[in-house]
A = this chain, B = another copy of it.
Amino acid sequence: MLQTRHFQQNALLGLLPEKELEHLLPHLEEVSLTLGQSLSESGRHMSHVYFPLDAIVSLLCVMENGDSTEIAVVGHEGLVGVSQFMGGETTLTSAIVQSAGQAYRLKSHLLKREFDRAGTMQRLLLRYTQALLTQMAQTAVCNRHHSLDQQLCRWLLLSLDRLPGNELIMTQELIANMLGVRREGVTESAGKLQKAGLISYNRGHITVLDRQGLEDRVCECYAGVKNEYDRLLKYPAVTVAC
């Protein structure tokens, strides 16, 4: 029965030693996340945290007038709901499903309980949170200094890294909301990428044809964040000597 489930598809769960995983196993519940579903809203309590498998979740900051910007993206490498173990209970950022798929969910207080055991899970979650900090910082600087073209490449690559295949179900309108720009701006930038043969899309389906081409165009922000995720989460159980 255990084999039919796939905990190891989520990096955090996959890195847990069996003993700790057993604490959580009975309480992990596989759920389907649908495009656009909201997992967390500004200031609202979250009953569950989510460990994405093939789903992707965007952390968004939404302004009073509805303008929004994605500040980080969460896929199979992480979890949605860090405020549940950081002690704040709620957070100002919203979490919206950007790519439909499966996730495990766990009652928030159970994650908190496991966190407070101060075992591997705590170490993992803290390092993951630091990776998230890095991603947010780099996103902020990228917003400020880089062109929409480059930001779109970064966004596509971040999504691609969290998807099983090379196709995204995503309209230009939604990408625009994520990047905090106009839909027409995305149309134009995406048009350039399509003309260059890097992607092909129609009506909400984007297929990446040339990943290397995207990497050639993307700004340094992508690699910086990716390296930091690898560093922090690849062998996180090992304590680094001072």
Contact = CB atoms under 8 A, between A and B. Distances in A.
Interface of A: 59, 61, 63-64, 67-69, 71, 82-83, 85-89, 91-93, 109, 116, 118, 123, 126-127, 129-134, 136-141, 143-145, 180, 220, 224, 228, 231-232, 236, 240, 242
A83 B88 CA distance: 19
Nearest to A85: B126
Given A69-B140, A69-B141, A133 B61 contact: no
A241 to B, nearest CB: 10
A63 B220 contact: yes
Contacts of A92: 134, 137-138, 224, 228
13 contacts: A63-B141, A63-B145, A63-B220, A64-B220, A67-B141, A67-B144, A67-B145, A69-B140, A82-B133, A87-B123, A88-B231, A92-B134, A136-B136
A39 to B, nearest CB: 16
A40 B85 CA distance: 27
A236 to B, nearest CB: 7
A154 to B, nearest CB: 13
A88 B238 CA distance: 11
Nearest to A225: B92
A130 B83 contact: yes
B87 A130 contact: yes
B180 A141 contact: yes
Closest 6 CB pairs of A and B: A140-B140, A61-B141, A86-B130, A88-B130, A144-B180, A69-B141
